[in-house]
Every structure is written in C-alpha cells, then in structure tokens.
Structure 1
Amino acid sequence: MKNWTSEALNTAPDSENQIHGDELAKKYGFRGGLVPGVTIASYLVHPAIEIWGRDWLERGYANCRITSPLYDKEKFSVSTDQLSAHHMNSTLVNSLGLATANAEISLNNNLPSQPKIREDCLVESSFKPPLASLKEWERLKKEGCKAFKFHWGGEDPLLYLKSETLLPKILQPSKDGYANLCFLLGCSNWILAGNAYMNPWIHLQTKSQNFIPVSFDTNLIAEMSINEAYEKKGHEFIDVDVNLFDEKTYACAMNINLLAIFKLRDS
C-alpha cells in the first residue's frame, strides 16, 4: 500500500453550479463549496499515471466513486493497492481520516471498439438549455442531445492541483504534455449541464475508458446520450454516456459514463 498526499483545489468556485460556492453549499449542510467530482477523480488516478504514464492515456480505465465531500485547501491522501501489473485500487482519505472516494483503475489489454462519431448537431451560440427534469431527460433520450466543442490548451488550462509542476510530467500543459482527467471528465459535466440547466447538482461517479492521448491545443467534440433518469429517496438522478472525439480525425479519445444527482431532495 502506497500513499500520495496533497492539498485539494476547488477548480470551479465560480461555476453556474453553485454547489461549488460556499453560500449555497452551506445551505445544504456542507462546510463550504464542494471540490468537483472530476477533480477528485483526478486525485484518485494520479498515482496510477505516475506509474503507467502514456500507457494510461492510451488504454487506461477508471471507475471513480465519490461518497463524501472534499473542500478547497483540505489536506488529503490517496492510498493505492496494486493488485497486479495492470490493476490497482485507490482510496482518498480526507483531513478527518474519512474515506471519501475510491476507484478501480486498470490498463485494458483488450480495448473495446472505439465509439464512432454520430455528428450530432453542435450547440448554437444562442442556445439556452431548458430546465432539467425527468420529463426533459426523457425527451432528450428520444430526440437526441446537442454536441459541444471543447478546447484543451490556451493560456490557462484546467489543472487539478495548484501548480502544473505538481502534475505528472506527461500531464503538464505544454507541447509535450497531454490533457488531464479533470479536463476530460469535465467535458462530460459541461455537456450535461449544457443540454439541461441544473443548479445545484452533484457528480457521483464516472467510468472512463481512454483510447488516445489528447495533445495540447486540441479541439474535442463531445456527444452525449441519455441512459436513464430516475428518482430515489427524494433525489433525482441522471445517467449518461459521453464520447469525446478529436475534431480533426474523429478518433475517439475517451468514453465516459457519468452518474449525477441533477435535483437534490427539497431543492
């Protein structure tokens, strides 16, 4: 068992999803704004990338589950249990000693077939998403979702730690570095919120499969399909699949299954 320790970073304090801001989060009983689930997933996978490097970016799989909140600037540790040369489990423990997230991580030696782009209609600049509801998700399941375009690169790329020097070298944003999991999984959050307006909402779990590394200054096209939306114990949940494609080649970079609470109980 190995441990990696660091300090959490709230990568979305000004998000339209105000659960990441202190004011609304405290109304729901949290100590402050929540560190995004995609950021926590990056912490869970960080030790694996340190070991597997580019192999992870080409065939890595992760099933990341968030069970309790993590807060900005909170100290945490990630313990990893390497079960074999190609498989490990990781657990994130917060500053209070509570396990708040866990992941099953592996290198897939038998990759599934790469998803093919459908060429869904790209979102228009004037589009305003309808309010999320069980009925709206059902409509989108039948009629299809808007595709979105996202850019990895620029002067201020999304990082999951406070300094790029803390990231594995292969993920440091430069011409020789590649997109990190926080950005890639973030694309699934952004396309979800772009198709139906939610505030607040909570990311619970992602299952992701890498196919190709995403180089600096790459445009990705995200396409989404609805699996199911349902109510349980007063919360309303949404389960979707998102595929990310290189805009130039249409090669699939990552397949993501995302589970979230889109409407909290009594909200």
Structure 2
Amino acid sequence: MSGAIAYEVAAFNTATASENRIHDDSVAKKFGFQGGLVPGVDVYAYMTRAAVIRFGAAFLARGMIECRFGKPLYDGETARIEARDDADGRLAIALSARDTELATATAWLAEPAEPPLPEQYPTAGLPAPDARPPASAQSLPEGAALGTIRETADGAGQQSYRADVRETHPLYTETGAVHPGFLLRRANSALKDNVRLGPWIHVGSTVRHFAPLQAGGDLETRARVARRYDHKGHGFVELDVALFSEGRAIARIDHVAIYEPRQVRMSA
C-alpha cells in the first residue's frame, strides 16, 4: 500500500496525575507552556497508526521508527496526522495542531538483523519508589545498568491503553498484539522507576521491533545509560533499552529525555 495517509485524533492527556508534573497545567505554565503536555509516548502512539496502515502487521515484527517531539500537544486539541512515502520509500509522518507541526517520525521495514540478547543487558535491582535517588550525574552514570522491570501485558490493560491513546485500527483486536506505544512507555518507566525526577520531557526515540508481543505475554524491560550530557542548559540522558519476553527480543529503543530542564536548575 502506498499513497498519502491522513487522519485525526482527539488528544488526551493521560498523565494529569503523573509524578511528572510537566503534565500538570499549573506547573507546565511555569515553564512557558499553555498547559500540561500530552505525553510524548502518547503522541508517538498517535503516529504509529500511520505505520500500521502502511506496513500492516509487519511493522510490529520488523519495523523501525524514529520520532522527535518539537512542540507540545495539549489535551483536547485535534491532532492531525499526515504521512506519505519519501524519496527513499520510507514513510514520513507529521503530527500537527494549531496549524503548527509539533512532531515528526520516519517509519520503515528494516532489513533482517541479529536481535539483542538478554546477556547483553545485565539485570539490576529496581529500587523501591521511596528509595530512588534523585536524577543526577551520580545516579545516571554512563554505562550503568538500570533496574529491571518485569510485568505482564494483560489483555484488559491493553484494551484500556488503546482507549486512552484513541487507537481504532483493528489490527490489535484481530491479532492480540500489544500496541507499540505501550512498548515505548516502558522506556519512560526505565527512567522514572529508577531515579526520582522533577518535571522532565521526553525528546525523541528510535524504536526497532524484532517480534510482536501478544497480550497476556510476560515483558521484561532492561536498560542502561548510554549517554548523559548538557545542552543549552538542560540535562539530557539517553537510554539504551531492550524489551524481552521469555528470552526473546521484542524491541530495542534508543530513548532521549531532558531529565533536568534548565528552569529547574535555575531555580535550585
């Protein structure tokens, strides 16, 4: 299938009660935003529908997607997603609202490659919520293995998740596959469940799928700190995240976030 793809999604802020107060209206306005930000992982979920329309179930088995979030999307806005094949035969995706492009992604079907192995991603203990250290250069050293997250992607939870991200494509109910946006949320969890954060911002991700995960399957999130650096006054962290189910690789994610915005540093 080729040609232009276009659809609209009524944006919904799923994180108003999140520990990350950048999704709260009053806190977000202090950072210069109009209100609480719709999470980047959910903006990503809106855009993945275009990839599924274009590539079908193959996208969940061997698809790749690079996404970047340039400007915020707010609760209740109508997000318009448009996609078309670019000169390389990849799918160029753009999400807009307020007559402004807010996020972009490029999706394609990758050539076969060796999947990551569990032994390449050491496990580590996950700290108790109240024992997490503050996010810092000391708690996020480059190369450090983060605490491993183990869970089950139950069917009822998947149905609720798809409702939250306004997913209407029939692929998920027909095949029982877990939504790619749910998988990307695990990268957020790898960060926030290991360190204590103030307001923080997901900047972008690159995701490579190796196999679909079926609802009801066990899921293990292993991650390490690939890089930590400062840029324009912000503290950035890049995570190398691998998702496994029963020893089989489901996806690998390069995940970039501002863990300490400059506004937080200036007020410290």
- Same fold, TM-score > 0.5, yes or no: yes
Task: Report the secondary structure of 2:227's partner residue.
Answer: strand
- Pairing partner for 1:31 from 34, 57, 61: 34
Which whole-Å CA distance do the structure 2 matches of 1:153 and 1:73 have between them? 28
**Residue of structure 1 in register with 2:83 after alignment:** 80
Which of these residues, 20, 23, 34, is aligned with residue 20 of structure 1? 23
Residue 225 (structure 1) shift: 1.2
CA contact (8 A) 2:60 2:180 kept: no
Question: In structure 1, what is the Cα distance between the partners aligned to 2:57 and 2:164?
Answer: 23
- CA–CA distance in structure 2, aligned partners of residues 221 and 8 of structure 1: 29
Give the 3-state SS of the residue equivalent to 1:155 in structure 2.
Answer: helix
Which whole-Å CA distance do the structure 1 matches of 2:50 and 2:163 have between them?
14
Unmatched runs of 5 consecutive residues or more in structure 1: none
After TM superposition, give the deviation of residue 234 of structure 1 in Å: 1.1
2:259 maps to 1:256: no
Query: What residue is the counterpart of 2:152 in the other structure?
Result: 151
Distance 1:143 1:47 in 2: 35
User: Which amino acid is the alignment partner of residue 146 of structure 2?
Assistant: C
Asked if 1:91 corresponds to 2:90, the answer is no
Deviations 1:20-71, CA, capped at 9 Å, x for gaps: 1212112212111111111111122211202322101100100000000001
2:109 to 102, 107, 110: 107
**Distance across 2 between alignment mates of 1:234 and 1:160:** 36
Alignment of 1:48-59 (within 5 A): 48-59=51-62
- Alpha-carbon shift at residue 184 of structure 1 (Å): 0.3
CA distance in 1 between counterparts of 2:183 and 2:165 reads 18
Using a 3 Å threshold, how does the CA distance of structure 1 residues 202 and 167 change in structure 2: closer, same or farther?
same
User: What amino acid does structure 2 have at the position aligned with 1:255?
Assistant: R
Q: Are the aligned partners of 1:150 and 1:187 in contact in 2 as well (CA < 8 Å)?
A: no
5+ residue gaps, structure 2, are none
Residue aligned with 1:266, SS: helix
Q: How many corresponding residue pairs?
A: 258
Is the contact made by 1:241 and 1:257 (CA closer than 8 Å) also made in structure 2?
Answer: yes
The residue that corresponds to 1:205 in the other structure is 204
Per the alignment, residue 179 of structure 2 pairs with 180
Give the TM-score of the pair, scaled to structure 2.
0.89
The offset of 1:82, in angstroms, is: 1.5
Q: Using the alignment, how far apart are the partners of 1:122 and 1:154 within structure 2?
A: 27
The change in CA–CA distance for 1:163 and 1:106 in structure 2 (over 3 A counts) is: closer
Q: Which deviations, in whole Å up to 9, do the C-alpha atoms of 1:131-189 show, x marking residues without a partner? A: 00122211xx355221111321253435355476x4211224x8x32111221000000
Alignment of 1:162-173 (within 5 A): 162=164, 166-172=167-173
1:131 aligns with 2:138: no
Percent sequence identity over aligned pairs: 28
Between the aligned partners of 1:91 and 1:52, the Cα distance in structure 2 is 17
Contact 2:65 2:107 in 1 (8 A): yes
For the residues of structure 1 that align with 2:75 and 2:39, how far apart are their CA atoms?
A: 10
2:112 and 2:68 mapped to 1: Cα distance? 22
Q: Does structure 2 retain, via aligned residues, the 8 Å contact 1:148–1:191?
A: yes
Please state how far the C-alpha of 1:128 moved relative to its aligned partner.
Answer: 2.2
Partners of 1:115 and 1:81 in 2: CA distance: 30
Q: Counterpart of 1:62 in structure 2: which amino acid?
A: I
Aligned mates of 2:65, 2:252 — CA distance in 1: 11
1:266 maps onto 2:263 in alignment: yes
The aligned counterpart of 1:68 is 71
CA RMSD of aligned residues (A): 2.1
